[in-house]
Amino acid sequence: MSGTLTRKQREIKEREAKILELARGMIVQDGYHGLSMDRIAEALEYSKGTIYQHFSCKEEILMALVNQAMERRLELFRRAAAFRGRSRERMSAIGAACDLFFRLYPDDVHIEHAIRITSIKEKASEQRRLCLERCEASCSELVRGVIYDAVAAGDLELDDDFSVEQLTFGLWSITFGGHSIAASSPSLTNLGIPDPMTAIRNNCNRLLDGSGWKPLSHELDLDTLIGRIQREVFAPEVAQLSQQGQAAAQETGAGRARRD
C-alpha cells in the first residue's frame, strides 16, 4: 500500500481522469451532442453502469471539465495579478493571461463557453455548481483587485455611475463575447476581422482608456510590455507554446527544412 490511497482507489482515480480526457475530446470535436455516455463506455471498455458510478449524469462530466478549465485559468490570472508594475500594466498582464489561456487550452475555452447555453447547471450537483461559482468569483475578484489598486494609487477615477464591478464586467464581456462570436462566426474575416485576438486586446485597451485609466494605451509601449510579461511571468507557457508551434510547423511541412 503506497501512499494514502489503496490500489483500488488509485485505479478509480485514473479511470476518472480517462473518462474526462475522452469526454473533453468528444465535446471539442462535436459539441455538447458529441458527448455520449454509451460511447465513453465503449471506448474505455467498461459498462455504462461503471461510468455512471463516477458521474451521475452527462452534466456532471461537463461541470467537472469546466471546473478543471477554470482552475487552470485562475492559476494564470493569479500569476498575472502578481506582476510587479503599475496597475494598468498588471491589467495588461491579466490580458496576456487570457491570450495565453486561449492559445494553450483552446479546448478549455470551448468548454467554458459550452456550459453557458444549455441548461446544464440546473442538472448538475450543488457541489459542482458551487465550485464553478467560486472559481468565477475568484477570477473576477482578481480583476477587481487590480482595478481597486488603480483607484487607490490614483491612476483611475470612477464615478458613481461607473463602478469597479461594471468595468470588470466590461472586460469580461469583451473577451468572452469576442471569443464566442469568433468561434461561431467563421465568416468574421469577411466582416473585416481577420484576427479576433488582436481585436479583443485593442477593444479592452480602448475601454480602459475610455475609463481614464492612466497611463493611457498610447502612453505605453504595449508590445514591449507584453514581451516583458511573457518573459517574466509566463516563460514556461510561452516555451511550451513555441514548442507546440514548431512541432505543428514540422508536421505540416510549413517550417523550412533544416538541411537545404
Find out whether 69 and 104 touch, Cβ atoms under 8 Å. no
Size of the site for DNA (CB under 7 A): 22
Retrieve residue 192's grid coordinates: 473585416
Of 15-23, 36-44, 84-92, 179-187: span binding a second copy (CB under 8 A): 179-187
Please state the closest distance from residue 57 (CB atom) to a second copy, in A. Answer: 12
Nearer to DNA, 49 or 186 (CB): 49
Nearer to DNA, 29 or 246 (CB): 29
Residue 36, class by beta-carbon neighbours within 10 Å (0-12 exposed, 13-18 middle, 19+ buried)?
Answer: middle
Instruction: Give all strands (DSSP E) within 117-231, no chain letters.
Output: none
Which of a second copy, DNA, none is residue 148 near (CB under 5 to 8 Å by kind)? none
Of 30-38, 63-71, 89-97, 242-250: span binding DNA (CB under 7 A): 30-38
* String marking each residue 98-127 x if it binds DNA according to CB under 7 A: -------------------------x----
Inter-CA distances, 140 with 85, 108, 164, 171, 191, Å: 20, 18, 11, 10, 31
Q: Which of 8, 84, 218, 258 binds DNA (CB under 7 A)?
A: 8
Q: How far apart, in whole angstroms, are the C-alpha atoms of residue 93 and residue 168?
A: 15
